[in-house]
Amino acid sequence: MNTLEQTLRRSRHLTNEQLSEAAAVSVSRIRSLIRRGKLKLYDYPNLADACDLCESPVRQGKLCTKCVSRLKGDIAKDLEQRSQKKEHVFLSKYRR
């Protein structure tokens, strides 16, 4: 961690890949430190974690906005289908 901090103090605008190369630390280790809150992103504008679904860079949370939107849409669609299915079952019971 000290090597990372020293490297970032010298150049706080490094990306994950640049920091990895400069400090001889793997990108996955850097992402792990970010995820665990050991490396604060607000001090380093070009560092980011990776989205759990698509690996796009994310500055907060575990999912990028695109994946969050897609999941919300999928959930809304599923809820709508369930609602329609319940309505269909309800109507078919009482139409006889």
Whether residues 1 and 20 fall in one domain: yes
Extended beta strands in the chain, E state:
49-50, 57-58
pTM, whole model, 2 decimals?
0.70
Range of 91's domain?
Answer: 65-96
Same domain for 35 and 12 = yes
- Tokens 């994950």 belong to 16
Identify whether residues 12 and 26 lie together within a single domain.
yes
Confidence at residue 43, expressed as pLDDT on a 0 to 100 scale: 86
Cα maximum dimension of the chain: 78
Domain count, the chain: 2
Examine the domain organization and report whether 55 and 69 are in the same domain. Answer: no
Same domain as 56, residue 14: yes
Backbone angles phi, psi at 45, to 5 degrees: -65, -20
Please write the tens of the pLDDT for every residue from 25-54. Answer: 999 999 999 999 899 888 899 999 999 999
71 shares a domain with 57: no
61's torsion region: left (phi>0), alpha (psi -120 to 50) or beta? left
User: Residue 95: its pLDDT value, please?
Assistant: 66
